[in-house]
Structure 1
Protein backbone atom coordinates (compact mmCIF):
# COMPACT_ATOMS: atom_id res chain seq x y z
CA UNK A 1 0.00 0.00 0.00
CA UNK A 2 1.16 3.51 -0.74
CA UNK A 3 2.74 5.47 2.11
CA UNK A 4 2.35 9.22 2.46
CA UNK A 5 5.42 11.12 1.35
CA UNK A 6 6.67 14.60 2.12
CA UNK A 7 6.69 16.83 5.22
CA UNK A 8 2.99 16.30 5.89
CA UNK A 9 3.81 12.78 7.06
CA UNK A 10 6.79 13.79 9.19
CA UNK A 11 6.89 12.79 12.86
CA UNK A 12 7.18 16.42 14.02
CA UNK A 13 3.80 17.49 12.62
CA UNK A 14 1.13 17.60 15.34
CA UNK A 15 -2.39 16.64 14.27
CA UNK A 16 -5.79 16.40 15.91
CA UNK A 17 -8.55 14.04 14.80
CA UNK A 18 -11.98 13.49 16.34
CA UNK A 19 -13.85 10.19 16.46
CA UNK A 20 -17.48 9.43 17.25
CA UNK A 21 -17.73 6.30 19.41
CA UNK A 22 -20.04 4.44 21.78
CA UNK A 23 -19.36 5.46 25.38
CA UNK A 24 -18.53 1.95 26.59
CA UNK A 25 -16.04 1.44 23.78
CA UNK A 26 -14.31 4.69 24.80
CA UNK A 27 -13.71 3.30 28.28
CA UNK A 28 -12.27 0.07 26.87
CA UNK A 29 -9.80 1.75 24.52
CA UNK A 30 -8.92 4.73 26.73
CA UNK A 31 -6.09 3.09 28.65
CA UNK A 32 -4.93 1.25 25.55
CA UNK A 33 -4.33 4.47 23.63
CA UNK A 34 -2.00 5.96 26.21
CA UNK A 35 0.60 3.56 24.83
CA UNK A 36 0.40 5.25 21.43
CA UNK A 37 2.20 8.45 22.42
CA UNK A 38 -0.82 10.59 21.49
CA UNK A 39 -2.99 12.63 23.86
CA UNK A 40 -6.52 11.31 24.31
CA UNK A 41 -9.59 13.23 25.44
CA UNK A 42 -13.05 11.65 25.81
CA UNK A 43 -16.05 13.97 26.04
CA UNK A 44 -18.34 13.74 29.05
CA UNK A 45 -22.12 13.65 29.22
CA UNK A 46 -25.11 11.30 29.23
CA UNK A 47 -25.10 10.67 25.49
CA UNK A 48 -24.68 7.06 24.32
CA UNK A 49 -21.96 8.36 22.03
CA UNK A 50 -18.82 10.32 22.88
CA UNK A 51 -16.29 12.35 20.98
CA UNK A 52 -12.77 10.94 21.27
CA UNK A 53 -10.13 13.57 20.45
CA UNK A 54 -6.69 12.23 19.57
CA UNK A 55 -3.81 14.73 19.35
CA UNK A 56 -0.13 14.10 18.77
CA UNK A 57 2.71 13.73 16.31
CA UNK A 58 1.68 11.96 13.14
CA UNK A 59 3.24 8.59 13.94
CA UNK A 60 1.69 8.56 17.42
CA UNK A 61 -1.70 9.42 15.96
CA UNK A 62 -1.45 6.72 13.28
CA UNK A 63 -0.33 4.24 15.93
CA UNK A 64 -3.42 5.10 17.99
CA UNK A 65 -5.70 4.42 15.02
CA UNK A 66 -3.93 1.15 14.33
CA UNK A 67 -4.49 0.07 17.95
CA UNK A 68 -8.18 1.04 17.84
CA UNK A 69 -8.77 -0.81 14.56
CA UNK A 70 -6.98 -3.94 15.79
CA UNK A 71 -9.00 -3.92 19.03
CA UNK A 72 -12.26 -3.66 17.08
CA UNK A 73 -11.11 -6.51 14.83
CA UNK A 74 -10.52 -8.68 17.92
CA UNK A 75 -13.99 -7.83 19.28
CA UNK A 76 -15.69 -8.71 15.99
CA UNK A 77 -13.83 -12.02 15.82
CA UNK A 78 -14.80 -12.83 19.42
CA UNK A 79 -18.44 -11.89 18.79
CA UNK A 80 -18.61 -14.31 15.85
CA UNK A 81 -17.24 -17.27 17.82
CA UNK A 82 -19.67 -20.21 17.72
CA UNK A 83 -21.80 -18.26 15.24
CA UNK A 84 -23.14 -19.53 11.93
CA UNK A 85 -22.40 -16.13 10.37
CA UNK A 86 -20.05 -16.66 7.42
CA UNK A 87 -19.51 -13.07 6.32
CA UNK A 88 -17.28 -11.11 8.69
CA UNK A 89 -18.21 -7.42 8.99
CA UNK A 90 -15.38 -4.92 8.47
CA UNK A 91 -13.96 -2.72 11.20
CA UNK A 92 -15.74 0.64 11.02
CA UNK A 93 -14.68 3.99 12.46
CA UNK A 94 -16.39 7.36 12.22
CA UNK A 95 -14.32 10.51 12.01
CA UNK A 96 -15.80 13.96 12.65
CA UNK A 97 -14.36 16.48 10.19
CA UNK A 98 -15.12 20.19 9.54
CA UNK A 99 -17.54 20.45 6.64
CA UNK A 100 -15.32 23.01 4.91
CA UNK A 101 -12.63 20.33 4.45
CA UNK A 102 -14.93 17.64 3.09
CA UNK A 103 -14.91 19.08 -0.43
CA UNK A 104 -11.13 18.60 -0.63
CA UNK A 105 -11.50 15.08 0.76
CA UNK A 106 -14.06 14.19 -1.91
CA UNK A 107 -12.20 15.96 -4.73
CA UNK A 108 -13.49 17.16 -8.07
CA UNK A 109 -16.08 14.71 -9.29
CA UNK A 110 -15.21 12.41 -6.39
CA UNK A 111 -11.66 11.90 -7.72
CA UNK A 112 -9.83 12.20 -4.38
CA UNK A 113 -12.04 9.90 -2.37
CA UNK A 114 -11.92 7.36 -5.22
CA UNK A 115 -8.12 7.53 -5.17
CA UNK A 116 -8.06 6.93 -1.40
CA UNK A 117 -10.39 3.94 -1.73
CA UNK A 118 -8.32 2.38 -4.51
CA UNK A 119 -4.95 3.05 -2.84
CA UNK A 120 -5.83 1.84 0.67
CA UNK A 121 -8.52 -0.77 0.05
CA UNK A 122 -10.76 0.90 2.66
CA UNK A 123 -14.30 2.09 2.05
CA UNK A 124 -14.78 5.81 2.76
CA UNK A 125 -18.12 7.62 2.91
CA UNK A 126 -18.62 11.32 3.60
CA UNK A 127 -22.05 12.18 5.03
CA UNK A 128 -24.02 14.60 2.89
CA UNK A 129 -25.48 16.50 5.86
CA UNK A 130 -23.84 18.28 8.76
CA UNK A 131 -24.06 16.66 12.18
CA UNK A 132 -26.80 18.30 14.32
CA UNK A 133 -26.07 21.84 15.56
CA UNK A 134 -22.58 21.85 14.06
CA UNK A 135 -20.57 22.57 10.92
CA UNK A 136 -18.95 19.12 10.97
CA UNK A 137 -19.68 15.98 8.98
CA UNK A 138 -19.20 12.31 9.76
CA UNK A 139 -16.69 10.43 7.61
CA UNK A 140 -17.09 6.65 7.88
CA UNK A 141 -14.11 4.38 7.21
CA UNK A 142 -14.52 0.61 6.86
CA UNK A 143 -12.04 -2.15 6.15
CA UNK A 144 -9.21 -4.19 7.59
CA UNK A 145 -7.12 -2.53 10.35
CA UNK A 146 -4.15 -1.88 8.04
CA UNK A 147 -6.40 -0.38 5.36
CA UNK A 148 -8.02 1.92 7.93
CA UNK A 149 -4.65 3.17 9.19
CA UNK A 150 -3.48 3.91 5.64
CA UNK A 151 -6.79 5.65 4.94
CA UNK A 152 -6.32 7.89 8.00
CA UNK A 153 -2.85 8.82 6.69
CA UNK A 154 -4.35 10.00 3.42
CA UNK A 155 -7.15 11.90 5.14
CA UNK A 156 -4.63 13.68 7.38
CA UNK A 157 -2.62 14.65 4.31
CA UNK A 158 -5.70 16.20 2.72
CA UNK A 159 -6.61 18.05 5.93
CA UNK A 160 -3.10 19.51 6.23
CA UNK A 161 -3.17 20.68 2.61
CA UNK A 162 -6.68 22.20 2.97
CA UNK A 163 -7.16 23.82 6.41
CA UNK A 164 -10.72 24.59 7.61
CA UNK A 165 -12.30 27.75 6.24
CA UNK A 166 -13.98 30.05 8.77
CA UNK A 167 -15.08 29.10 12.27
CA UNK A 168 -15.97 25.47 13.00
CA UNK A 169 -18.92 24.70 15.26
CA UNK A 170 -17.97 21.33 16.82
CA UNK A 171 -20.47 18.52 17.07
CA UNK A 172 -21.52 17.62 20.61
CA UNK A 173 -23.55 14.41 21.02
CA UNK A 174 -26.75 14.85 22.99
CA UNK A 175 -28.24 12.30 25.40
CA UNK A 176 -31.39 10.38 24.60
CA UNK A 177 -34.40 11.38 26.63
CA UNK A 178 -36.05 8.46 28.40
CA UNK A 179 -36.19 5.10 26.68
CA UNK A 180 -35.24 1.69 27.96
CA UNK A 181 -33.37 -1.22 26.48
CA UNK A 182 -34.69 -4.64 27.33
CA UNK A 183 -32.61 -7.74 26.71
CA UNK A 184 -34.39 -11.01 27.41
CA UNK A 185 -34.36 -14.67 26.52
CA UNK A 186 -37.48 -15.66 24.64
CA UNK A 187 -40.17 -16.94 27.02
CA UNK A 188 -38.01 -15.88 29.96
CA UNK A 189 -37.92 -12.99 32.41
CA UNK A 190 -36.69 -9.77 30.78
CA UNK A 191 -33.61 -7.96 32.02
CA UNK A 192 -33.91 -4.17 31.91
CA UNK A 193 -30.85 -1.97 31.57
CA UNK A 194 -30.34 1.76 30.79
CA UNK A 195 -30.85 2.45 27.11
CA UNK A 196 -27.56 2.76 25.21
CA UNK A 197 -25.77 4.46 28.10
CA UNK A 198 -22.08 4.37 28.92
CA UNK A 199 -22.88 1.39 31.18
CA UNK A 200 -24.24 -0.72 28.32
CA UNK A 201 -22.17 -2.72 25.88
CA UNK A 202 -24.12 -5.16 23.69
CA UNK A 203 -21.10 -7.35 22.96
CA UNK A 204 -19.82 -7.75 26.54
CA UNK A 205 -23.32 -8.21 27.98
CA UNK A 206 -24.38 -10.82 25.44
CA UNK A 207 -21.29 -12.94 25.96
CA UNK A 208 -22.67 -13.87 29.38
CA UNK A 209 -25.32 -16.05 27.70
CA UNK A 210 -25.15 -19.34 25.86
CA UNK A 211 -24.31 -18.43 22.22
CA UNK A 212 -27.21 -20.54 20.97
CA UNK A 213 -29.93 -18.96 23.17
CA UNK A 214 -32.59 -16.96 21.36
CA UNK A 215 -32.66 -13.44 22.78
CA UNK A 216 -34.32 -10.15 22.03
CA UNK A 217 -32.97 -6.61 22.31
CA UNK A 218 -35.33 -3.63 22.28
CA UNK A 219 -34.43 0.05 22.45
CA UNK A 220 -35.52 3.49 21.26
CA UNK A 221 -33.71 5.19 18.37
CA UNK A 222 -33.99 8.77 17.15
CA UNK A 223 -35.93 8.98 13.87
CA UNK A 224 -33.07 11.04 12.39
CA UNK A 225 -30.99 7.85 12.18
CA UNK A 226 -33.66 5.55 10.75
CA UNK A 227 -33.12 6.47 7.09
CA UNK A 228 -29.39 5.74 7.07
CA UNK A 229 -29.97 2.39 8.79
CA UNK A 230 -32.72 1.26 6.39
CA UNK A 231 -30.97 2.53 3.25
CA UNK A 232 -32.43 2.96 -0.21
CA UNK A 233 -35.35 0.55 -0.64
CA UNK A 234 -34.24 -1.28 2.49
CA UNK A 235 -30.82 -2.21 1.06
CA UNK A 236 -28.78 -1.44 4.19
CA UNK A 237 -31.03 -3.09 6.77
CA UNK A 238 -31.31 -6.18 4.55
CA UNK A 239 -27.50 -6.30 4.38
CA UNK A 240 -27.29 -6.06 8.19
CA UNK A 241 -29.84 -8.87 8.53
CA UNK A 242 -27.91 -11.07 6.10
CA UNK A 243 -24.48 -10.47 7.66
CA UNK A 244 -25.62 -10.81 11.28
CA UNK A 245 -28.24 -13.51 10.90
CA UNK A 246 -30.53 -11.55 13.24
CA UNK A 247 -34.13 -10.49 12.67
CA UNK A 248 -34.45 -6.68 12.87
CA UNK A 249 -37.73 -4.83 13.13
CA UNK A 250 -38.15 -1.05 13.21
CA UNK A 251 -41.59 -0.01 14.44
CA UNK A 252 -43.54 2.60 12.53
CA UNK A 253 -44.95 5.66 14.25
CA UNK A 254 -47.92 7.85 13.46
CA UNK A 255 -47.99 10.10 16.52
CA UNK A 256 -45.07 12.32 15.52
CA UNK A 257 -42.81 10.81 18.17
CA UNK A 258 -39.09 11.59 17.69
CA UNK A 259 -38.20 8.00 18.67
CA UNK A 260 -38.76 4.63 16.98
CA UNK A 261 -38.54 1.23 18.66
CA UNK A 262 -35.93 -1.15 17.25
CA UNK A 263 -36.27 -4.87 18.04
CA UNK A 264 -33.41 -7.28 17.27
CA UNK A 265 -34.04 -11.01 17.70
CA UNK A 266 -31.55 -13.85 17.40
CA UNK A 267 -28.66 -15.53 19.16
CA UNK A 268 -26.52 -13.32 21.43
CA UNK A 269 -23.76 -13.38 18.81
CA UNK A 270 -26.04 -12.37 15.92
CA UNK A 271 -27.53 -9.56 18.03
CA UNK A 272 -24.02 -8.34 18.87
CA UNK A 273 -23.03 -8.23 15.20
CA UNK A 274 -26.30 -6.54 14.19
CA UNK A 275 -25.92 -3.91 16.93
CA UNK A 276 -22.32 -3.27 15.88
CA UNK A 277 -23.37 -2.74 12.24
CA UNK A 278 -26.28 -0.48 13.23
CA UNK A 279 -23.97 1.65 15.38
CA UNK A 280 -21.53 1.85 12.48
CA UNK A 281 -24.28 3.14 10.19
Structure 2
Protein backbone atom coordinates (compact mmCIF):
# COMPACT_ATOMS: atom_id res chain seq x y z
CA UNK A 1 0.00 0.00 0.00
CA UNK A 2 1.28 3.43 -0.90
CA UNK A 3 2.37 5.36 2.18
CA UNK A 4 1.51 8.57 0.28
CA UNK A 5 -2.13 7.78 0.99
CA UNK A 6 -1.61 8.28 4.69
CA UNK A 7 0.60 11.33 4.29
CA UNK A 8 -1.72 13.05 1.84
CA UNK A 9 -5.39 12.17 1.64
CA UNK A 10 -5.56 10.51 5.05
CA UNK A 11 -4.16 13.28 7.22
CA UNK A 12 -6.32 12.54 10.24
CA UNK A 13 -5.65 12.63 13.97
CA UNK A 14 -3.77 9.54 15.04
CA UNK A 15 -2.31 8.02 18.22
CA UNK A 16 0.67 5.65 18.33
CA UNK A 17 1.77 3.98 21.57
CA UNK A 18 5.39 2.80 21.84
CA UNK A 19 6.63 0.41 24.54
CA UNK A 20 10.27 1.07 25.44
CA UNK A 21 12.84 0.11 28.05
CA UNK A 22 13.75 2.78 30.59
CA UNK A 23 17.26 3.32 29.21
CA UNK A 24 15.90 3.98 25.71
CA UNK A 25 13.32 6.38 27.12
CA UNK A 26 16.07 8.28 28.96
CA UNK A 27 17.83 8.77 25.63
CA UNK A 28 14.60 10.05 24.00
CA UNK A 29 14.02 12.52 26.87
CA UNK A 30 17.64 13.74 26.82
CA UNK A 31 19.46 15.92 29.35
CA UNK A 32 16.97 18.19 31.16
CA UNK A 33 14.32 17.09 28.65
CA UNK A 34 16.05 18.86 25.74
CA UNK A 35 15.72 15.98 23.27
CA UNK A 36 11.97 15.39 23.71
CA UNK A 37 11.34 19.16 23.75
CA UNK A 38 13.05 19.46 20.36
CA UNK A 39 10.97 16.56 19.00
CA UNK A 40 7.74 18.22 20.18
CA UNK A 41 8.67 21.59 18.69
CA UNK A 42 9.91 20.30 15.33
CA UNK A 43 7.17 17.72 14.73
CA UNK A 44 4.16 19.50 16.20
CA UNK A 45 3.04 16.17 17.69
CA UNK A 46 1.97 15.69 21.29
CA UNK A 47 4.50 13.37 22.97
CA UNK A 48 3.63 11.99 26.40
CA UNK A 49 5.83 9.62 28.41
CA UNK A 50 4.34 7.45 31.18
CA UNK A 51 5.53 8.23 34.69
CA UNK A 52 7.00 5.95 37.30
CA UNK A 53 10.10 3.94 38.11
CA UNK A 54 9.30 1.14 35.66
CA UNK A 55 11.58 -1.11 33.60
CA UNK A 56 9.30 -0.23 30.68
CA UNK A 57 7.59 3.03 29.77
CA UNK A 58 4.89 3.97 27.27
CA UNK A 59 5.56 6.84 24.84
CA UNK A 60 2.34 8.16 23.30
CA UNK A 61 2.46 10.16 20.06
CA UNK A 62 -0.75 12.00 19.13
CA UNK A 63 -1.70 14.51 16.44
CA UNK A 64 -2.15 14.72 12.66
CA UNK A 65 -0.45 11.88 10.76
CA UNK A 66 2.19 14.21 9.27
CA UNK A 67 3.22 15.38 12.77
CA UNK A 68 3.12 11.84 14.16
CA UNK A 69 5.44 10.42 11.52
CA UNK A 70 7.85 13.33 11.87
CA UNK A 71 8.08 12.66 15.63
CA UNK A 72 8.31 8.90 15.04
CA UNK A 73 11.15 9.40 12.53
CA UNK A 74 13.05 11.52 15.06
CA UNK A 75 12.67 8.80 17.72
CA UNK A 76 13.93 6.12 15.32
CA UNK A 77 16.89 8.33 14.33
CA UNK A 78 17.77 8.74 18.02
CA UNK A 79 17.70 4.96 18.59
CA UNK A 80 19.87 4.43 15.49
CA UNK A 81 22.28 7.11 16.76
CA UNK A 82 22.53 5.31 20.12
CA UNK A 83 23.35 2.00 18.39
CA UNK A 84 26.05 3.67 16.27
CA UNK A 85 27.66 5.41 19.27
CA UNK A 86 27.65 2.19 21.30
CA UNK A 87 29.41 0.40 18.42
CA UNK A 88 32.45 2.69 18.57
CA UNK A 89 33.93 0.84 21.56
CA UNK A 90 32.67 -2.56 20.47
CA UNK A 91 34.50 -5.35 18.68
CA UNK A 92 31.30 -6.22 16.80
CA UNK A 93 31.61 -6.22 13.02
CA UNK A 94 27.91 -6.03 12.15
CA UNK A 95 25.48 -3.43 13.42
CA UNK A 96 22.29 -4.81 14.98
CA UNK A 97 18.94 -3.57 13.64
CA UNK A 98 16.88 -0.91 15.36
CA UNK A 99 14.18 -2.75 17.33
CA UNK A 100 11.07 -1.29 18.89
CA UNK A 101 7.57 -2.28 19.98
CA UNK A 102 4.24 -0.60 19.40
CA UNK A 103 1.07 -1.57 21.27
CA UNK A 104 -2.34 -1.92 19.61
CA UNK A 105 -5.78 -3.18 20.71
CA UNK A 106 -5.87 -6.97 20.45
CA UNK A 107 -9.24 -6.71 18.65
CA UNK A 108 -7.49 -5.09 15.68
CA UNK A 109 -4.64 -7.61 15.36
CA UNK A 110 -6.69 -10.02 13.23
CA UNK A 111 -7.01 -7.44 10.45
CA UNK A 112 -3.31 -6.67 10.71
CA UNK A 113 -2.30 -10.32 10.39
CA UNK A 114 -4.85 -11.03 7.62
CA UNK A 115 -6.29 -14.32 6.43
CA UNK A 116 -3.61 -16.98 6.79
CA UNK A 117 -1.09 -14.25 7.67
CA UNK A 118 -1.31 -12.66 4.18
CA UNK A 119 -1.48 -9.02 5.37
CA UNK A 120 1.49 -9.23 7.74
CA UNK A 121 3.46 -11.07 5.04
CA UNK A 122 2.66 -8.29 2.55
CA UNK A 123 3.85 -5.63 5.04
CA UNK A 124 7.10 -7.58 5.72
CA UNK A 125 7.84 -7.98 2.02
CA UNK A 126 7.00 -4.43 0.92
CA UNK A 127 8.88 -2.67 3.77
CA UNK A 128 11.80 -5.04 4.38
CA UNK A 129 11.20 -4.84 8.14
CA UNK A 130 10.87 -7.85 10.41
CA UNK A 131 7.51 -7.62 12.17
CA UNK A 132 5.93 -9.97 14.69
CA UNK A 133 2.56 -9.69 16.47
CA UNK A 134 2.66 -11.14 19.99
CA UNK A 135 0.35 -14.09 20.56
CA UNK A 136 -0.57 -13.03 24.09
CA UNK A 137 -2.00 -9.80 25.41
CA UNK A 138 0.20 -7.62 27.61
CA UNK A 139 -0.38 -8.12 31.37
CA UNK A 140 -3.65 -6.68 32.75
CA UNK A 141 -4.66 -5.18 29.39
CA UNK A 142 -6.43 -5.92 26.10
CA UNK A 143 -3.46 -4.75 24.03
CA UNK A 144 -0.79 -6.71 22.19
CA UNK A 145 2.79 -5.74 21.40
CA UNK A 146 4.06 -5.66 17.83
CA UNK A 147 7.85 -5.99 17.58
CA UNK A 148 9.46 -4.37 14.54
CA UNK A 149 13.15 -4.61 13.59
CA UNK A 150 15.13 -3.31 10.64
CA UNK A 151 16.63 -0.14 9.19
CA UNK A 152 15.13 3.19 10.30
CA UNK A 153 13.45 3.68 6.90
CA UNK A 154 11.96 0.16 6.82
CA UNK A 155 10.55 0.59 10.36
CA UNK A 156 8.98 3.96 9.51
CA UNK A 157 7.42 2.51 6.35
CA UNK A 158 6.19 -0.53 8.30
CA UNK A 159 4.50 1.59 10.98
CA UNK A 160 2.84 3.74 8.30
CA UNK A 161 1.33 0.63 6.74
CA UNK A 162 0.20 -0.69 10.14
CA UNK A 163 -1.49 2.67 10.79
CA UNK A 164 -3.29 2.51 7.43
CA UNK A 165 -4.71 -0.90 8.40
CA UNK A 166 -5.70 0.35 11.86
CA UNK A 167 -7.44 3.41 10.39
CA UNK A 168 -9.29 1.28 7.86
CA UNK A 169 -10.42 -1.13 10.59
CA UNK A 170 -11.59 1.59 12.98
CA UNK A 171 -13.34 3.35 10.09
CA UNK A 172 -15.34 0.22 9.23
CA UNK A 173 -16.12 -0.83 12.80
CA UNK A 174 -14.92 0.52 16.16
CA UNK A 175 -12.79 -1.77 18.38
CA UNK A 176 -14.96 -4.42 20.04
CA UNK A 177 -15.57 -3.75 23.71
CA UNK A 178 -13.52 -1.42 25.89
CA UNK A 179 -9.77 -1.35 25.28
CA UNK A 180 -7.84 -1.70 28.53
CA UNK A 181 -4.48 0.01 27.89
CA UNK A 182 -1.27 -1.63 29.05
CA UNK A 183 0.34 0.13 32.02
CA UNK A 184 3.88 -1.02 32.89
CA UNK A 185 4.35 -2.00 36.54
CA UNK A 186 6.95 -0.29 38.80
CA UNK A 187 10.13 -2.26 39.45
CA UNK A 188 9.64 -3.17 43.09
CA UNK A 189 10.37 -6.89 42.87
CA UNK A 190 13.49 -8.97 42.09
CA UNK A 191 12.20 -10.23 38.77
CA UNK A 192 13.07 -7.51 36.28
CA UNK A 193 15.51 -8.37 33.49
CA UNK A 194 18.52 -6.06 33.26
CA UNK A 195 20.22 -4.75 30.11
CA UNK A 196 17.17 -4.24 27.91
CA UNK A 197 18.91 -2.73 24.94
CA UNK A 198 19.62 -4.84 21.90
CA UNK A 199 22.97 -3.13 21.36
CA UNK A 200 24.18 -4.08 24.83
CA UNK A 201 23.21 -7.70 24.26
CA UNK A 202 24.99 -7.64 20.91
CA UNK A 203 28.17 -6.28 22.48
CA UNK A 204 28.07 -8.86 25.23
CA UNK A 205 27.67 -11.71 22.77
CA UNK A 206 30.60 -10.44 20.69
CA UNK A 207 32.89 -9.71 23.64
CA UNK A 208 32.13 -13.05 25.35
CA UNK A 209 31.25 -11.22 28.57
CA UNK A 210 29.07 -12.74 31.28
CA UNK A 211 25.42 -11.76 31.02
CA UNK A 212 24.47 -8.83 33.31
CA UNK A 213 21.98 -9.53 36.07
CA UNK A 214 20.39 -6.81 38.18
CA UNK A 215 21.12 -7.07 41.93
CA UNK A 216 18.60 -9.33 43.60
CA UNK A 217 17.46 -11.05 40.40
CA UNK A 218 17.66 -14.51 41.93
CA UNK A 219 15.24 -15.83 39.34
CA UNK A 220 17.69 -15.29 36.48
CA UNK A 221 21.05 -15.96 38.13
CA UNK A 222 21.58 -18.97 35.89
CA UNK A 223 21.99 -16.69 32.90
CA UNK A 224 25.27 -15.38 34.26
CA UNK A 225 26.85 -18.53 32.84
CA UNK A 226 26.06 -17.60 29.23
CA UNK A 227 29.01 -17.75 26.88
CA UNK A 228 29.65 -17.10 23.18
CA UNK A 229 31.73 -18.98 20.63
CA UNK A 230 32.57 -17.35 17.29
CA UNK A 231 33.28 -19.33 14.15
CA UNK A 232 35.24 -16.82 12.06
CA UNK A 233 35.30 -18.97 8.92
CA UNK A 234 31.51 -19.21 8.74
CA UNK A 235 30.80 -15.76 10.22
CA UNK A 236 28.33 -17.37 12.61
CA UNK A 237 28.30 -17.40 16.38
CA UNK A 238 26.99 -19.84 18.92
CA UNK A 239 25.71 -18.37 22.17
CA UNK A 240 24.64 -20.31 25.25
CA UNK A 241 22.42 -19.17 28.10
CA UNK A 242 20.78 -20.97 31.00
CA UNK A 243 17.16 -20.37 31.94
CA UNK A 244 15.44 -21.58 35.13
CA UNK A 245 13.20 -24.64 34.59
CA UNK A 246 10.15 -22.84 35.96
CA UNK A 247 10.46 -20.12 33.30
CA UNK A 248 11.29 -22.26 30.26
CA UNK A 249 7.58 -22.77 29.53
CA UNK A 250 7.03 -19.09 28.76
CA UNK A 251 9.86 -19.24 26.19
CA UNK A 252 8.55 -22.41 24.50
CA UNK A 253 4.84 -21.45 24.58
CA UNK A 254 1.88 -23.66 23.81
CA UNK A 255 2.96 -26.42 21.37
CA UNK A 256 6.20 -24.49 20.76
CA UNK A 257 4.43 -21.39 19.41
CA UNK A 258 6.59 -18.84 21.27
CA UNK A 259 9.98 -20.36 20.47
CA UNK A 260 8.96 -20.66 16.81
CA UNK A 261 7.97 -16.97 16.80
CA UNK A 262 11.38 -16.03 18.21
CA UNK A 263 13.16 -18.24 15.65
CA UNK A 264 11.19 -16.67 12.77
CA UNK A 265 11.63 -13.12 14.03
CA UNK A 266 15.38 -13.37 14.70
CA UNK A 267 16.46 -15.76 11.96
CA UNK A 268 18.57 -17.63 14.55
CA UNK A 269 18.56 -21.35 15.33
CA UNK A 270 17.53 -21.98 18.94
CA UNK A 271 17.92 -25.34 20.69
CA UNK A 272 16.63 -26.04 24.19
CA UNK A 273 18.39 -28.95 25.90
CA UNK A 274 16.44 -31.69 27.68
CA UNK A 275 16.13 -31.39 31.47
CA UNK A 276 19.14 -32.67 33.43
CA UNK A 277 18.54 -34.61 36.65
CA UNK A 278 19.34 -32.51 39.70
CA UNK A 279 19.59 -29.25 37.72
CA UNK A 280 17.17 -26.36 38.18
CA UNK A 281 18.15 -24.83 34.82
CA UNK A 282 17.86 -25.62 31.12
CA UNK A 283 20.58 -24.95 28.57
CA UNK A 284 19.58 -22.84 25.52
CA UNK A 285 21.93 -22.62 22.51
CA UNK A 286 21.44 -19.85 19.93
CA UNK A 287 23.27 -20.08 16.60
CA UNK A 288 23.37 -17.62 13.70
CA UNK A 289 24.79 -14.28 12.65
CA UNK A 290 25.78 -11.87 15.46
CA UNK A 291 22.75 -9.65 14.68
CA UNK A 292 20.29 -12.58 14.67
CA UNK A 293 21.70 -13.89 17.97
CA UNK A 294 21.32 -10.42 19.52
CA UNK A 295 17.71 -10.21 18.36
CA UNK A 296 16.94 -13.72 19.64
CA UNK A 297 18.45 -12.87 23.06
CA UNK A 298 16.51 -9.61 23.15
CA UNK A 299 13.22 -11.40 22.40
CA UNK A 300 13.90 -14.22 24.90
CA UNK A 301 14.73 -11.76 27.66
CA UNK A 302 11.78 -9.48 26.82
CA UNK A 303 9.59 -12.60 27.11
CA UNK A 304 11.16 -13.50 30.49
CA UNK A 305 10.76 -9.93 31.68
CA UNK A 306 7.09 -9.73 30.70
CA UNK A 307 6.38 -13.13 32.27
CA UNK A 308 8.14 -12.15 35.48
CA UNK A 309 6.44 -8.74 35.61
CA UNK A 310 3.10 -10.45 35.07
CA UNK A 311 3.85 -12.88 37.91
CA UNK A 312 4.83 -10.00 40.16
CA UNK A 313 1.53 -8.25 39.43
CA UNK A 314 -0.59 -11.26 40.42
Q: State the TM-score, normalized to the length of structure 1.
A: 0.69
Q: Is the 8 A contact 2:6 2:160 kept in 1?
A: no
Shift of 1:97: 0.3
Shift of 1:166: 1.9
Q: Is the 8 A contact 1:8 1:160 kept in 2?
A: no
Q: Is the 8 A contact 1:240 1:277 kept in 2?
A: no
Which of the pair is proportionally richer in helix?
A: 2
Alignment of 1:148-167 (within 5 A): 148-163=155-170, 164-167=175-178
Aligned mate of 1:174, from 185, 197, 204: 185
If asked which structure has higher relative contact order (CA below 8 Å, sep 6+), I would say 1
Q: Is the 8 A contact 1:24 1:201 kept in 2?
A: yes
Shift of 1:45: 2.2
Q: Is the 8 A contact 2:91 2:207 kept in 1?
A: no
| Distance in 2 of aligned mates of 1:122 and 1:98 | 21
Aligned mate of 1:51, from 46, 58, 81: 58
What is the match of residue 21 of structure 1? 20
Shift of 1:42: 1.0
The structure-2 alpha-carbon separation of the partners of 1:203 and 1:109, relative to structure 1 and needing over 3 Å to count, comes to: closer
Q: Deviations over 1:5-35 (max 9, x none)?
A: 2687533x11001111112322321333323
What is the match of residue 217 of structure 1? 212
The structure-2 alpha-carbon separation of the partners of 1:239 and 1:161, relative to structure 1 and needing over 3 Å to count, comes to: closer
Unmatched tracts of structure 2, length 5 or more: 30-34, 221-245, 282-290, 304-314
Shift of 1:59: 1.0
- Larger mean CA deviation between 72-81 and 104-113 belongs to 72-81
What is the match of residue 97 of structure 2? 90
SS where residue 212 of structure 2 aligns?
strand
The structure-2 alpha-carbon separation of the partners of 1:84 and 1:131, relative to structure 1 and needing over 3 Å to count, comes to: same
Shift of 1:112: 1.0
| Distance in 1 of aligned mates of 2:76 and 2:17 | 15
Aligned mate of 1:130, from 100, 112, 137: 137
The structure-2 alpha-carbon separation of the partners of 1:96 and 1:233, relative to structure 1 and needing over 3 Å to count, comes to: closer
Aligned-residue Cα RMSD (Å) equals 4.5
Q: State the TM-score, normalized to the length of structure 2.
A: 0.62
Aligned mate of 1:115, from 119, 122, 125: 122
The structure-2 alpha-carbon separation of the partners of 1:27 and 1:4, relative to structure 1 and needing over 3 Å to count, comes to: same
Unmatched tracts of structure 1, length 5 or more: 182-194, 243-251, 261-269
Q: Is the 8 A contact 1:116 1:154 kept in 2?
A: yes
Q: Deviations over 1:229-265 (max 9, x none)?
A: x9359958x97899xxxxxxxxx9x9xx9xx9xxxxx
| Distance in 2 of aligned mates of 1:37 and 1:145 | 21
